[in-house]
């Protein structure tokens, strides 16, 4: 990150490649061990439970999981306003993430009983708790090693990818444009606060990612939609790209953002139902 945004992008790509390799090794094994009675929650004490109310609690987390919006300025820097490549990067990147998430959910929900998630949630929802639940399925050797590699790289690459956009935003906000000193100060502004919060709240993963979803809702959902409406009112003659749908699409996006914010506060103040 200190060197350049392009160097950070290359390192993130390296993490992603290693993560995909370990993902294929681990979940290629778990895929063939899926127990459909566990997947359908047919035999546990929670059988017949409706999980629909928990969707609202998950909305801020889902938004953070697909929160590529903050990286678009960094992508513009790397791709230099080649909008065709920018659109392909966003679309195919989102589809790839969706496929991996669905495969992950299939293998996770088909190997770990629902009761085990209560212990995972009570421990703060940390990745190591999920890994221990997987290891409880008696996986050893290379599978165990790759599972640990995947879980750590998943967090590292996600953190690094999000901070890529945050880094460029802070550099622009505080006008830290000098090549060496400016980037060093921006690195401190980007990484020092989350590092301190992790030391203070080591088991705050769920609240952390939920808070990230709240911030993403404001800066990556509502504000861009408001700017789009404003830009269409101004009628810029040299605009590069216009999303179809007039003001209706930005209005729907704003409504979705408000819904996510309400869900976040509902979770914080224990208004929404919680599993376990």
DSSP readout, 101-159?
A: HHHHHHHHHTTS-HHHHHHHHHTTS-HHHHHHHHHTT---THHHHHHHHHHHHHHHHHH
Question: pLDDT digit string (tens) for 2-22?
Answer: 666 667 777 778 888 888 888
Model pLDDT, residue 259: 95
Please give the Cα distance from 221 to 257 (Å, whole number): 6
pTM: 0.73
Q: What b/e string do you get for 171-210 counting C-beta neighbours within 10 Å, with b at 16 or more?
A: beeeebeeeeeebeebbebbbeeeeeeeeeeeebbbebbb
- Helices 248-268 and 55-65, packing angle to 10 deg: 120
Sign of the torsion formed by the C-alpha atoms of 34, 36, 42 and 43? negative
Q: Are 192 and 227 spatial neighbours (Cβ–Cβ below 8 Å)?
A: no
Q: Are 54 and 274 spatial neighbours (Cβ–Cβ below 8 Å)?
A: yes
Model pLDDT, residue 260: 92
* Maximum Cα–Cα distance across the chain: 63
Q: What angle do CA 28, 29, 31 make, to 5 degrees?
A: 65
Least confident of 135-144, 240-249, 261-270: 135-144
Please give the Cα distance from 84 to 68 (Å, whole number): 17
Residue 83 has pLDDT above 80, yes or no: no
More confident residue, 57 or 125: 57
Mean of pLDDT values over 94-109: 88
Model pLDDT, residue 64: 78
More confident residue, 149 or 127: 149
Model pLDDT, residue 252: 94
Please give the Cα distance from 35 to 203 (Å, whole number): 30
Residue 55 has pLDDT above 80, yes or no: yes
Residue 255 has pLDDT above 90, yes or no: yes
Kindly state the tokens that stand for 181. 């000193």
Residue 163 has pLDDT above 80, yes or no: no
Please give the Cα distance from 105 to 95 (Å, whole number): 15
Q: What are the residue boundaries of the structural domains of the chain, listed by start?
A: 1-33+67-185
Which ranges of the chain would DSSP assign to H, the alpha helix?
Answer: 5-31, 36-39, 55-65, 72-79, 83-109, 114-122, 127-135, 142-173, 181-200, 205-216, 223-234, 248-268
């Amino acid at each position: 990150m200190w060197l350049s945004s392009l160097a950070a992008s290359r390192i993130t790509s390296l993490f992603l490649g290693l993560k995909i390799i370990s993902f294929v090794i681990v979940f290629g094994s778990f895929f063939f061990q899926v127990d459909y009675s566990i997947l359908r929650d047919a035999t546990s004490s929670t059988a017949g439970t409706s999980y629909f109310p928990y969707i609202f609690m998950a909305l801020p987390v889902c938004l953070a999981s697909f929160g590529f919006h903050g990286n678009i300025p960094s992508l513009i820097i790397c791709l230099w306003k080649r909008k065709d490549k920018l659109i392909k990067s966003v679309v195919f990147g989102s589809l790839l993430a969706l496929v991996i998430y669905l495969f992950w959910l299939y293998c996770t929900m088909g190997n770990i009983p629902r009761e085990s998630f209560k212990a995972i949630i009570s421990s703060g929802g940390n990745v190591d708790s999920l890994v221990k639940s997987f290891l409880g399925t008696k996986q050893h050797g290379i599978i165990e090693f790759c599972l640990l590699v995947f879980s750590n790289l998943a967090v590292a690459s996600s953190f690094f990818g999000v901070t890529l956009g945050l880094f460029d935003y802070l550099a622009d906000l505080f006008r830290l444009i000098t090549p060496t000193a400016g980037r060093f100060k921006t690195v401190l502004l980007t990484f020092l606060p989350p590092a301190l919060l992790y030391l203070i709240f080591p088991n705050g993963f769920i609240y952390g990612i939920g808070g990230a979803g709240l911030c993403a809702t404001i800066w990556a959902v509502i504000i861009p939609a408001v700017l789009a409406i404003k830009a269409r009112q101004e009628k810029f003659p040299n605009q590069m790209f216009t999303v179809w749908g007039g003001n209706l699409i930005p209005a729907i996006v704003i409504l979705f953002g408000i819904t996510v914010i309400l869900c976040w506060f509902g979770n914080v103040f224990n208004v929404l139902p919680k599993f376990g």
